Structure 1
């Protein structure tokens, strides 16, 4: 027999950030992994706009897609892993990978979005450095 799942415990224990935002884009859930990743405490994040972690230059595009998703009830990303820049509380840039899922009311209206997020900054920087080094080696060998 399967025991009941304690979802609060699950959300607190997961190593990936879990962020839920409502239809307007206000944060309604911010787990401990999100605190570690982005630097904002739960009390600093809850009720704030997702702009908290979206770099200024990407906000227009983000909100266009967000509002389109809320209106249509569909995300064009499905189960795809998205990779985008994000912002830490201290101002440094992060490279994150995440999946999204829509949340619905009993009447099937979209009420919000849940994102499960992983920090891939180290991997992104390693790949960028390897690409740079490879370009240098190719330039040297063709000279």
Structure 2
């Protein structure tokens, strides 16, 4: 590894949100992209629960998976992209995609999770429009073929 690479700057300046949470789900790190995507600055988030960005209807499922991951040290989202809704500080819903890395201590036990998050709200909205347009065109085509 090149000792001249400043990995702390890489993480701080990454275009995707990078956040680190402890085993209880309290936020321990929040980069500038997380501030841009979610609207909360780092001071707003330190030590607080991820519930601030998780829609209420998703929280039970999220925490069940989070605590299971902490207990087992196993996650399927290290390589697989997870797409879920999230909340912006102003209350609007976002569509995000993320992967996680488990942060293990010297004993091998999981001490937290790092997540790399991308805002896919615009892409999701565009996909929804395209799917609606496709349905409309298929209905027109079906109607024309029945005439």
1:73 aligns with 2:73: yes
Distance change (3 Å), C-alpha of 1:3 and 1:78: closer
Larger Rg: 2
1:107-118 superposed matches below 5 A: 107-118=107-118
Give structure 1 regions of 4+ aligned residues with deviation exceeding 6 angstroms. Answer: none
**Helix, strand or coil for the counterpart of 2:89?**
coil
- Rounded to whole Å, the distance in 2 between the matches of 1:77 and 1:115 is 10
- Rounded to whole Å, the distance in 1 between the matches of 2:65 and 2:125 is 27
1:43-58 superposed matches below 5 A: 43-58=43-58
- Rounded to whole Å, the distance in 1 between the matches of 2:120 and 2:76 is 22
Match of 1:22 in 2: 22
1:125-136 superposed matches below 5 A: 125-136=125-136
**Helix, strand or coil for the counterpart of 2:126?**
helix
CA deviations over 1:117-143 (Å, ceiling 9, x no partner): 011111100000000011011112212
**CA offset at residue 33 of structure 1?**
0.3
- Rounded to whole Å, the distance in 2 between the matches of 1:72 and 1:49 is 21
- Rounded to whole Å, the distance in 1 between the matches of 2:111 and 2:4 is 25
- Rounded to whole Å, the distance in 2 between the matches of 1:22 and 1:32 is 19
- Rounded to whole Å, the distance in 2 between the matches of 1:56 and 1:35 is 21
1:88 aligns with 2:88: yes
- Total equivalences in the alignment: 143
**CA offset at residue 89 of structure 1?**
0.4
When normalised by structure 1's length, the TM-score is 0.96
- Rounded to whole Å, the distance in 1 between the matches of 2:135 and 2:91 is 30
Q: Which runs of 5+ in 2 are unaligned?
A: none
Match of 1:10 in 2: 10
